[in-house]
Amino acid sequence: MSRPPAIRARKLEKRYAGGVHALKGIDLDIPQGSLFGLLGPNGAGKSTFINILAGLVTKTSGKVDIWGFDIDDNPRNARVSIGVVPQELVFDAFFTPWEMLEVQAGMYGVPKHQRRTEELLRAVRLWDKRDAYSRTLSGGMKRRLLVAKAMVHSPPVLILDEPTAGVDIELRQQLWGYVRELNARGVTIVLTTHYLEEAEELCDTIAIINHGEVICCEPTPQLLARIDEKEIVLDLDAPLKEVPEAFRRFHTRQPRPDRLVIQISRQEVDLDAVIAAIHEAGLRIRDLRTSETDLEDIFLQLTRADDAEAQREPVR
């Protein structure tokens, strides 16, 4: 039998008092053991969804289970089943990392002999800062400390809300490594990020939320295969007044006088025909390169299509 999802949402709605309809009947399953990406533009509903899971926002209607526990019927068990790393860096300036993790473990009722404070501080490379006041830590150190803080009670589900926002490339790579390590141990990871390459690199499944609705939820390779396009970029030795007749058989655009961009299907790549067109037009090529669809292309296409659809809907 297949395992139940780590997180299951059914017909999840949230309307705020001011009339904002933040979530519009979301249905979403996040598999156990997955590294799940949750993407969407600002105001899409991601933070509302996460805050409902964390118990910080009360849903209007619908049902949510975390690790099999209904958040209404078993709120304590549901909240113990997740750790949340918030986007904001909120710290008590006079607590050390060691004290912060010990206090957090105590709040979750973790007995002293079962606490993992040293293990967690070493894992996030903060053992040498265990006795420093948190106010003296760099932004990257604070980000790592938040990850450790979320793991003090060994939750099976970890939610990372923009975990690498504002950190340098080296630290981002370190955090990626630790996230992969946690996932390899069986922790289900839910990642929200504005760095699309981060989601493409880390996540095995990606859901895209826009206007409070899930507009796509697919395995990452399947999502990347949605748009079957490849571009061939030709940089020319001399500028052209218009696209040569030999290239009219392709979908060709001319972003500047000395460049042609040809869009072709990745499944039906006919480079011989492109090369023949180059010779037929008598072009001299300074540079030739290709590019394939990435997650950013798909994200923009899906959200733009959804925005256009939303604008066509009649006002209720």
- Per-residue model confidence as pLDDT tens digits over 115-157: 999 999 998 889 999 999 988 998 888 888 988 999 999 999 9
Band of the pLDDT at 48, cuts 50, 70, 90? very high
d(CA 225, CA 227): 6
CATH architecture, range 7-218: 3-Layer(aba) Sandwich (3.40)
Say yes or no: domain 230-292 is CATH 3.30.70.
yes
7-218 shares its CATH topology with 230-292: no
Q: How far is CA 268 from CA 164, 228, 247, 253, 263, in A?
A: 38, 9, 17, 19, 11
Lowest-confidence region among 128-137, 196-205, 272-281, 307-316: 307-316
Lowest-confidence region among 60-64, 166-170, 243-247: 166-170
278 compared with 231, residue with greater pLDDT:
278
Mean pLDDT of all residues in 184-199: 88
Task: For residue 150, give every residue at least 6 positions away whose Cβ sits within 8 Å of its Cβ, in sequence order, or none.
Answer: 83, 84, 85, 158, 159
Structural domain boundaries of the chain? 7-218, 230-292
Q: What is the pTM of this model?
A: 0.75
